[in-house]
Structure 1
Amino acid sequence: MRNLLSRTSLSVGELLLAVAILIGAVGVLVYLLPTPILVLGGAIILLSTLIYSIGFLSIIRQYRFLYRLNRVPILVVFLAPVILTFIFIHVFDLSLSIANWVILIALLLSLATYWLIVPAALYQQLREQQEETAIEDWPSVCVLVPAYNEEGYVGECIESLLAIEYPTELLDIVVIDDGSTDNTYQEAANYESDGIRILQKENAGKHSALNYGMERTSSEFIVCIDADSVVDTKAVKELIRTYRTSSNPGAIAGNVEVANADSFITRIQALEYIIGINMFRRALSLLGLVKVVPGCLGMFDRKLVNEIGGYSGDTVTEDFDLTIDILKGGHRIYHSSNAVAQTEVPDTWLDLYRQRIRWFRGNVQTVLKHWQIFKNTDFGILHVVMAPYLILSMVIIPGLGFVISAYIIWMLFSGAIIQLIGLLVLFTLLQLLFCTLAILIEDDDLSLVKYAPLTVIGYKQFLDVILAKGTLDVILKDSFSWTRAQRIRQRETTDKNEITNQDDKS
């Protein structure tokens, strides 16, 4: 296993490229945008900066009066920018066409991402770097590895766990074979002599396997790791360090990277993990509102999870479900960018579909299950920040994506090719800017930025369609099966066996 933290340092060329993209994007904005949109865009930037500054004051200075904003009803959060936009249009007597309104709304969302998420993620990174806390009394930790048909993977996962730098007497590693039908148990059992505990049970789902493991440990903390993931040697220590330096923590999310970024489809996902997952976790970590503690790598206070009732089988995304339960209980969830795990992502479009349809179905199930956070202001910052974020990411942005796609088709049929090209160039440049800044913050492979245009046209629409189908499945169907992406190594082994059998027959 390679050293997961051996990343290249930033070069002057990379920084100059980021600056060039920034200047180019601003220039294109000024050149292409209609004057009303340009004026409103400037106002939106100023408003975003104001909101962002207030947020930082509440975090850095901890002014008590600012925390009263946490109880502002969710409707006000949504209506405030809309009302201010209408006031601005009325005062300056601006006339906007329907097309310009579509552009304006899209720009609103883009600017909210660029001028709020990126600076917040950068600030989280800098703050984390300054919080080097020496820990002398390390707590007891149990690492749980639920495994179902993980032959060819669970062994490598265990080997990475055996290399973890943590006091041996305080670290308990437990693999739970959830009724596998392949050689997962036998592969894991090879490591029992190294002190690994191997448990075996009938198949009942990942949530059941995790609960089964928790019931058989008394460790203070639980670290959950997927059997197809490998972790950095310092991952557990970094999770504990983040926990100890955080306010009222209930869980810590690790930093997930793509292990097999070696093909077109997996490299697109590598970029997605950076800009769509890790960046948002960094930003939300400032408020202790990380949305999901990933199954690939996450740490929980065991007593707190037991009080909640453990993992629930109500949804097919048990990690998201448990995360919301912890947040509803008044605890905070943070992100540790130095606790790194690598995971295998699907390498075919069919397997990617199978993975994402489960994710999206589970997300919708979880939102419906915890619908009270949208209505009850007693949930404070969870109601004011997390609820709007969920609506934005799961409803408004995908819905707007369909509207813009329809608008693009209309422009094609109406002959507005030049305007269409201009809009595509504009949003592509904005996305290039965002991706470049995100990659630099993550200190990752800058060549991934070439896939940024596909996150505007192509890949985004693919995910939006899956989200729409997943939402309809939850609403219209009583039940659906667990969809699982085929493991790459297992597929390769199967193919080799088939070839060998054919050769034997011949």
Structure 2
Amino acid sequence: MPLLRKPRDTTASTPPRAHWVVLAVVLSALALALGVEGYTHHLYGNSDYTGPPPGASAMVPREVSHGGPIINGGAGPGHRTAEPRPKTIALTFDDGPDPKWTPKILQVLDRHHVKATFFLLGNEVAAHPEVAREIVADGHEIGVHSFTHADLAAVPDWQRRMEVRESQLAIVGATGQSTSLFRPPFSSENNALDDAAWNVVRQAGEHGYLTVLTTRDSQDWQRGDIQQILRYSTPHGSQGQVLLMHDGGGSRADTVAALDRLIPVLQDKGWRVTTVSDAVGTGDPMRPGTWSDKAAGTALIVALKASHVVLLALTFLLYAAAFLTVLRAVILVVAARRHRRVRKRGWGPEMTGPVSVVVPAYNEELGIEATVRSLLDSDHPVEVIVVDDGSSDDTAQVVESLDLPEMVLVSTPNRGKAAALNTGISLARYDYVVMVDGDTVVEPETVRMLVQPFNDPLVGAVSGNAKVANRDGLLGLWQHIEYVVGFNLDRRLFDLARCMPTVPGAVGAFRRSALDRVGGVGRLTLAEDTDLTMSLASDGWRVVYEEQARAWTEAPATLGALWRQRYRWCYGTLQAMWRHRGTVFQRGAGGRFGRRGLGYLLLFQVLLPLFAPVVDVFALYGLVFLDPSRIMSVWLAFLSVQMFMGWIAFRLDRERAGALWSMPLQQFVYRQLMYLVVIQSVVTALAGVRLRWQRMDRYGSFATSREPASVAD
């Protein structure tokens, strides 16, 4: 299987790049889908806002402002208008179709044998095409009412044309019929037309539309009582009317009830209630749509439904991610506090026997002296075995020149870190082996604290507390926070749950007999420390965390170096998880590790980061199309949880909490980088690419000093 290939069987010097193109395409498609969904449902909406007050009307022709409510605003010097016949009411409905209220209104109309004209919103037609088809099937007329209920007088020409055209396409796609009737949102009577609104009417006429204004407004959008709707809807005299009501845009219960009472009243008074075209005497405004319009309309409806599905899926993922984040925070904090109480009990009689320390070194000349000296300054008896793994610099010469007692230098050809560790283990004289990286400086009590848990005969390995030494810059601070808040809180939880997946290569201790049982350090993955730990757990050994065994290590100082390090870690962890997947089905300690440890890693370190960029895209969507204050509130709540976790973790680790000031910035840059590392690693693993070992650059942070200068506490 691809995840099991050895890291040194390299056939490609760089990982594949095609998946970044795929990721960009996927995120772009998501952004497009969310943009469409946001534009059609959240940018304007179907509110009861009545539009801006009228402006100047010098350009509105007198024959229009004083004419009938049906306007042909086409090109030419004259503009024709028409009005319904006397004692005739053109019954019209705006803002639908609505899946709840439109069918109820259709039932009322059918019961009274009345036809009406429905001015439909394109986005609602796309969302509920079956309701639009029902309107047409019942013999009613339909007209265009824009796509999103935007104020067409206030938008650019291109957007105005798009609003009308897309609404027409949605109608054709849903019903197979096109229409020549049009009503702009927020329109009312002729004398309310200003220059901007007239421009909308004129452009609609140039495209073959008849604009239908109103003469009576039922005011049902006011959410008044039924009597008020009846009062506003009942005409005086005998002049023909165009009555405005609503079948969408909110609750229309009062509209349905008022309509059921209004129609009989009007009919009893001799009024004929009918459609716009019948009231005016024009020809049928509806005709079969063209083949191309039907295809385009169907595609539009499919695209809009797909964007809605995407939004629902992202909403679910957002809630799931938020739930998992909060759940993880609660579990980690509770576990960390309990772990601290448990560890205060100690491990029993003090372990005083000597310990072998193995230091694998490849091109470590800048820091190896500080590492060796710190080990030999331990308050516990040690022998130090430095294995120079074919360094091309002066690592061996630096170590040899120290000429320190209880130190052994072994030079081997370059065969990798795992081979170097196995060489050191084979030369170790004692029952307990501490492994320390060549860029790590330990404190005097570190080795002593590491070996105390071996009082428990079930303990096979002990994880130390690795800390970032070069934390002066912003990148160093972010890694410092990650080590304290992320890695160490996780290790406390893993310790309590007895499912520790990794003893860090920077500092860890092992029972020699446990190492012999699992065959030493494996070479099948790039994360040899994780693979070794999982092998021990699979074999039934307990792996614990000793927070007082502190060691200071160099962290990457550039984004490029950080990427290479974390890419290797993540890819190697995936390899190790795949190798040890069988532990999920084991019994006993090995099965406990598989189900708890691997399950936790899969959920929180693989799946959650994979979906995180999608959640960030959704957050941007919310800032643009939803209430930004709500989105910011959610983000601040999330940040508060992170800050609380950080405060707890820093307190437990006895670190100064001042570094947490950089955590908000960490969410914008560092967190995104870690997500991309996981994505890159997963794609590389699935593609079966053999990844080279990517060694981190050394900066000589420790020089020859025994403690990092940046550590004052």
Quick check: TM above 0.5?
yes
Task: Give the superposition deviation at 1:421.
Answer: 1.6
Match of 1:207 among 394, 418, 422: 418
Partner of residue 352, structure 2: 138
Task: Give the superposition deviation at 1:201.
Answer: 0.3
Give, as a single letter, the amino acid of the residue that structure 2 aligns with 1:252: V
Match of 1:185 among 367, 385, 396: 396
1:154 and 2:375 matched: no
Task: Give the superposition deviation at 1:243.
Answer: 2.4
Task: Using the TM superposition, name which of 390-399 and 304-313 deviates more.
Answer: 390-399
Task: Give the superposition deviation at 1:216.
Answer: 1.5
Q: Distance in 1 between matches of 2:312 and 2:598?
A: 31
Partner of residue 25, structure 1: none
Give, as a single letter, the amino acid of the residue that structure 2 aligns with 1:121: A
Q: Distance in 2 between matches of 1:321 and 1:456?
A: 30
Task: Give the superposition deviation at 1:436.
Answer: 1.2
Structure 2 runs not aligned, ≥5 long: 1-310, 704-713
Partner of residue 126, structure 1: 341
Partner of residue 368, structure 1: 578
Task: Give the superposition deviation at 1:418.
Answer: 2.4
Partner of residue 69, structure 1: none
Structure 2 SS opposite 1:176: strand
Match of 1:109 among 321, 324, 327: 324
Q: For 1:253-268, what aligned pairs fall within 5 Å after superposition?
A: 253-268=463-478
Structure 1 runs not aligned, ≥5 long: 1-95, 493-506
Q: Distance in 1 between matches of 2:362 and 2:402?
A: 17
Q: Which has the higher helix share?
A: 1
Task: Give the superposition deviation at 1:233.
Answer: 0.6
Q: Distance in 1 between matches of 2:445 and 2:433?
A: 16
Which of the pair has more CA radius of gyration? 2
Task: Give the superposition deviation at 1:412.
Answer: 3.6
Structure 1 SS opposite 2:540: coil
Given that 2:484 and 2:653 are in contact with CA atoms closer than 8 Å, whether structure 1 keeps it comes out as yes
Partner of residue 391, structure 1: 602
* Total equivalences in the alignment: 391
Q: Distance in 2 between matches of 1:387 and 1:480?
A: 22
Given that 1:427 and 1:456 are in contact with CA atoms closer than 8 Å, whether structure 2 keeps it comes out as no
Structure 2 SS opposite 1:286: helix
Give, as a single letter, the amino acid of the residue that structure 2 aligns with 1:156: A
Given that 2:577 and 2:598 are in contact with CA atoms closer than 8 Å, whether structure 1 keeps it comes out as no
Match of 1:468 among 679, 688, 691: 679
1:356 and 2:356 matched: no
Given that 2:366 and 2:698 are in contact with CA atoms closer than 8 Å, whether structure 1 keeps it comes out as no
Q: Distance in 2 between matches of 1:283 and 1:155?
A: 35
Give, as a single letter, the amino acid of the residue that structure 2 aligns with 1:108: F
Task: Give the superposition deviation at 1:261.
Answer: 1.0
Give, as a single letter, the amino acid of the residue that structure 1 aligns with 2:384: I
Give, as a single letter, the amino acid of the residue that structure 1 aligns with 2:504: P
Give, as a single letter, the amino acid of the residue that structure 2 aligns with 1:111: V
Output one character per residue of 1:385-421: Cα deviation in whole Å (capped at 9) or x when no partner. 1121021123321133123112113224425422222
Partner of residue 65, structure 1: none
Given that 1:431 and 1:456 are in contact with CA atoms closer than 8 Å, whether structure 2 keeps it comes out as no
Q: For 1:249-398, what aligned pairs fall within 5 Å after superposition?
A: 249-376=459-586, 379-398=590-609
Given that 1:192 and 1:198 are in contact with CA atoms closer than 8 Å, whether structure 2 keeps it comes out as no
Given that 1:258 and 1:343 are in contact with CA atoms closer than 8 Å, whether structure 2 keeps it comes out as yes
Q: For 1:435-454, what aligned pairs fall within 5 Å after superposition?
A: 435-454=646-665
Q: Distance in 1 between matches of 2:323 and 2:623?
A: 24
Q: Distance in 2 between matches of 1:463 and 1:249?
A: 32
Task: Give the superposition deviation at 1:478.
Answer: 3.4
1:197 and 2:408 matched: yes
Task: Give the superposition deviation at 1:103.
Answer: 4.3
Output one character per residue of 1:51-110: Cα deviation in whole Å (capped at 9) or x when no partner. xxxxxxxxxxxxxxxxxxxxxxxxxxxxxxxxxxxxxxxxxxxxx976764443123212
Given that 2:366 and 2:699 are in contact with CA atoms closer than 8 Å, whether structure 1 keeps it comes out as no
Given that 2:399 and 2:409 are in contact with CA atoms closer than 8 Å, whether structure 1 keeps it comes out as yes
Structure 2 SS opposite 1:108: helix
Task: Give the superposition deviation at 1:203.
Answer: 0.2
Structure 1 SS opposite 2:497: coil
Q: Distance in 1 between matches of 2:427 and 2:451?
A: 21
Structure 1 SS opposite 2:427: coil
**TM-score, normalising length from structure 2?**
0.53
Q: Distance in 1 between matches of 2:632 and 2:330?
A: 25
Output one character per residue of 1:144-196: Cα deviation in whole Å (capped at 9) or x when no partner. 000000011000001101100113xxx22100000000000000112234231
Task: Give the superposition deviation at 1:247.
Answer: 6.3
Give, as a single letter, the amino acid of the residue that structure 2 aligns with 1:114: A
Given that 2:606 and 2:678 are in contact with CA atoms closer than 8 Å, whether structure 1 keeps it comes out as no
Output one character per residue of 1:307-354: Cα deviation in whole Å (capped at 9) or x when no partner. 211111100110000000000011110000111100010111111111
Given that 1:255 and 1:338 are in contact with CA atoms closer than 8 Å, whether structure 2 keeps it comes out as yes
Structure 1 SS opposite 2:337: helix
- Of structures 1 and 2, the one with the larger relative CO (CA 8 A, separation 6+) is 1
**TM-score, normalising length from structure 1?**
0.74
Structure 2 SS opposite 1:478: coil
Q: In the superposition, relative to structure 1, how do residues 102 and 316 fare at CA in structure 2: closer, same or farther (>3 Å)?
A: closer
Q: Distance in 2 between matches of 1:193 and 1:451?
A: 42
Percent of residue pairs bearing the same amino acid type: 27
Structure 2 SS opposite 1:305: helix
Given that 1:358 and 1:482 are in contact with CA atoms closer than 8 Å, whether structure 2 keeps it comes out as yes
Given that 1:207 and 1:313 are in contact with CA atoms closer than 8 Å, whether structure 2 keeps it comes out as yes
Partner of residue 495, structure 1: none
Task: Give the superposition deviation at 1:440.
Answer: 1.2
Given that 1:454 and 1:460 are in contact with CA atoms closer than 8 Å, whether structure 2 keeps it comes out as no
Q: In the superposition, relative to structure 1, how do residues 193 and 484 fare at CA in structure 2: closer, same or farther (>3 Å)?
A: closer
Q: Distance in 2 between matches of 1:348 and 1:458?
A: 13
- The list of structure 1 runs, each at least 4 consecutive aligned residues, that deviate by more than 4 angstroms after superposition, is 96-100, 375-378
Q: In the superposition, relative to structure 1, how do residues 270 and 409 fare at CA in structure 2: closer, same or farther (>3 Å)?
A: same
Give, as a single letter, the amino acid of the residue that structure 2 aligns with 1:204: R
Q: In the superposition, relative to structure 1, how do residues 289 and 415 fare at CA in structure 2: closer, same or farther (>3 Å)?
A: closer
Partner of residue 424, structure 1: 635
Q: Distance in 1 between matches of 2:690 and 2:321?
A: 35
Q: Distance in 1 between matches of 2:378 and 2:675?
A: 39
Output one character per residue of 1:3-25: Cα deviation in whole Å (capped at 9) or x when no partner. xxxxxxxxxxxxxxxxxxxxxxx
Q: Distance in 2 between matches of 1:219 and 1:282?
A: 28
Q: In the superposition, relative to structure 1, how do residues 193 and 419 fare at CA in structure 2: closer, same or farther (>3 Å)?
A: closer
Q: Distance in 1 between matches of 2:406 and 2:371?
A: 15
Q: In the superposition, relative to structure 1, how do residues 100 and 232 fare at CA in structure 2: closer, same or farther (>3 Å)?
A: same
Given that 1:120 and 1:282 are in contact with CA atoms closer than 8 Å, whether structure 2 keeps it comes out as yes
Q: Distance in 2 between matches of 1:481 and 1:308?
A: 25
Structure 1 SS opposite 2:375: helix
Q: Distance in 2 between matches of 1:355 and 1:318?
A: 13
Give, as a single letter, the amino acid of the residue that structure 2 aligns with 1:227: G
Please provide the CA RMSD for this pair.
2.1
Give, as a single letter, the amino acid of the residue that structure 2 aligns with 1:117: L
Structure 1 SS opposite 2:364: coil
1:478 and 2:689 matched: yes
Q: In the superposition, relative to structure 1, how do residues 193 and 284 fare at CA in structure 2: closer, same or farther (>3 Å)?
A: closer
Q: For 1:24-43, what aligned pairs fall within 5 Å after superposition?
A: none
Q: Distance in 2 between matches of 1:380 and 1:472?
A: 28
Task: Using the TM superposition, name which of 285-294 and 322-331 deviates more.
Answer: 285-294
Give, as a single letter, the amino acid of the residue that structure 2 aligns with 1:426: A
Task: Give the superposition deviation at 1:375.
Answer: 4.5
